[in-house]
Amino acid sequence: MSADIKYAYKRHNTWVYRRTYPKALQPILGSSFKQSLRTADAKQAKARVAELNQTFTNLVKEAQAHADAATAEPNLETAQLAVARPRYQRARLLGEQPVYGLAKRYLKELSQTLRPGTTKSIRYALELLSSHVGNKQKIGELSTDTGRDILKLISKLSPNVRKYAEAKEASLTKLAELSQTYEAISLTPQTQARIFKQMQRFLDWCVREGELSNNPWSALSIRAKPEVSPHGVLTDAQVSILLKAKDRVLHSALLFGLLTGMRSGEICGLMAEDITHKGNLGRFIQIKPNAIRQLKSKAAEREVPLHQTLEQLLDTSLPKQGRLFPYLTVDAVVKRYAKLRRLYPDLLGSVFHSTRKWFITQCERTGTPEHFTASLVGHHSARSANKLTYGLYSGGISDAQKREIVDGVRLPQEVAL
């Protein structure tokens, strides 16, 4: 037999609070105050009834004050009482929530703070996880063995597997099979580690949210050593090919990359308002975080002089306000450069980032000290083993020194701009 609790009754194994409002206040408050206590335990229900009794008293007092102040019948549509109701949640067992639902919650939370590009990579990792364990598997059922199985499958994935028609909505296991069938290459160890790290961070979040007692995959990691396969530096002949092509989308951006050493993301986010005139030293442009893009590191925030070729470009071709490249994105840069590689086989092995390497190489060949070049391209100075200490004591190179370095960079002579 269930216990008797004043102002509460049990319905379908859940206690419900119900208390009738005074008749005079019912036009304002309604007939009764009713709320589920979200528990089957009588002791817990009794404690919550005590809280709601206090809320009920506050509601009645507030409504009485409204009634006394009213000179006419109260407007039921606009009457608002400044009293908050307690909200109760049913107790959940640890590890009972499905992986799929928690992954959706996690992504929704991250989407409010992270940029779309970052969220995309996290979503891909969680889609792989959800596709492997299914929509109904509970978070508490994930084991170390599950993590090992996922690691093995990730190591079999190929870079282009999702481009195949059969890969649409395929599970992680199926994607691994397709990768082995269609391609003889796999993801680099760095990419494998990044995917698995996103899954581990999701499990760490589940621990913080009280859905797990501990992360069962915390001791797991990719065993393969990172592969270093940097893209080559552009030759002068390749630079000539790129500039003579006069690509409708990339030509101006290529000039900025070659003559400032900027990253593609930095170029896409350049604003006309960031350009400053410094008298005889010409025009400089500030590279700083803005609404369009963030920077790779603190060192990437800098001010660089614009080469004479770029100053001519500003005067003739680029917008005088707002974004210098309003329709350019990093994704568009990557795809357009890939098209140039297909059109010009001599560009094979190069990427847009190779323009940055070409600029750094030109600085080296003119005898520019390494730490001078580092400040121009947004790298930490390599002059001191203790980079932080050196940065605190050094004021950096002067604008005149920067101008001298940039003016020393020459495009191949056969290129007519």
The verdict on 131 and 245 lying in the same domain is no
Cβ atoms of 19 and 33 within 8 Å: the answer is yes
- Boundary residue ending a domain (208, 223, 254): 208
Q: Residue 3's pLDDT is what?
A: 79
Tracing tokens 């007519």 back to the chain, one arrives at 416
Same domain, 58 and 120: no
366 and 243: one domain? yes
**Residue 303 three-state SS:** strand
- Helices 189-208 and 116-133: crossing angle in degrees, nearest 10, is 80
Instruction: Give me 303's structure tokens.
Output: 């001010």
Per the DSSP assignment, residues forming a β-bridge with 304 are 285
Asked whether residue 415 is assigned to any structural domain, the reply reads no
Q: Are residues 84 and 133 in the same domain?
A: no
Residue with tokens 């419900």: 16
Instruction: Return the residue matching tokens 């404690």.
Output: 47
Of all helices (H) and strands (E), which one includes residue 11?
strand 8-11
The domain tally of the chain equals 3
Q: Is residue 231 part of a domain?
A: no
pLDDT per residue, tens digit, the chain (417 aa), is 567 899 999 888 888 999 999 988 888 888 889 888 888 888 999 999 999 999 999 888 888 887 776 544 545 445 566 666 666 555 566 778 899 999 999 998 888 777 666 788 899 999 999 999 887 889 988 999 999 999 999 999 988 888 888 888 889 999 999 888 888 788 888 899 999 999 999 999 998 888 888 999 999 888 877 666 677 789 999 999 999 999 999 999 999 999 999 989 889 989 999 999 999 999 999 888 877 777 766 667 888 999 999 999 999 989 999 999 998 998 899 999 999 999 999 998 899 999 999 999 999 998 888 888 888 888 766 554 455 454 544 557 889 999 999 999 999 876 655
Of the three residues 91, 108, 127, the one that is the final residue of a domain is: 91
pLDDT recorded at residue 116: 64
CA 21 vs. chain centroid, Å, equals 50
The pLDDT value recorded for residue 68 is 72
Shared domain for 115 and 71, answered yes or no, is no
Asked, for residue 317, whether it belongs to a domain, the answer is yes
Residue 298 one-letter amino acid: K
C-alpha of 166 from chain center: 28
| Whether residue 141 is found in the same domain as residue 76 | no
Residues 276 and 390 in one domain: yes
Determine contact, residues 317/246, Cβ cutoff 8 Å.
no
Distance, in Å, from the CA atom of 373 to the CA atom of 50, rounded to the nearest integer, reads 70
- Domain boundary among the residues 166, 192, 208 is at 208
260 within domain boundaries = yes
Domain that holds residue 169: 99-208
Structure tokens at 17: 């609070």
The predicted structure's pLDDT at residue 415: 63
Q: For residues 63 and 185, state if they share a domain.
A: no
- Let me know: does 37 contact 15? Beta carbons within 8 Å: yes
Are 176 and 313 in the same domain?
A: no
- Given a contact cutoff of 8 angstroms between Cβ atoms, the answer to whether 403 and 285 are in contact is no
The whole-number pLDDT of residue 267 equals 92
Pairing outcome for strands 14-20 and 302-305: unpaired
- Sign of the alpha-carbon torsion through 96, 100, 103, 109: negative
416 inside domain: no
**Predicted local distance difference test score (pLDDT) of residue 127:** 92
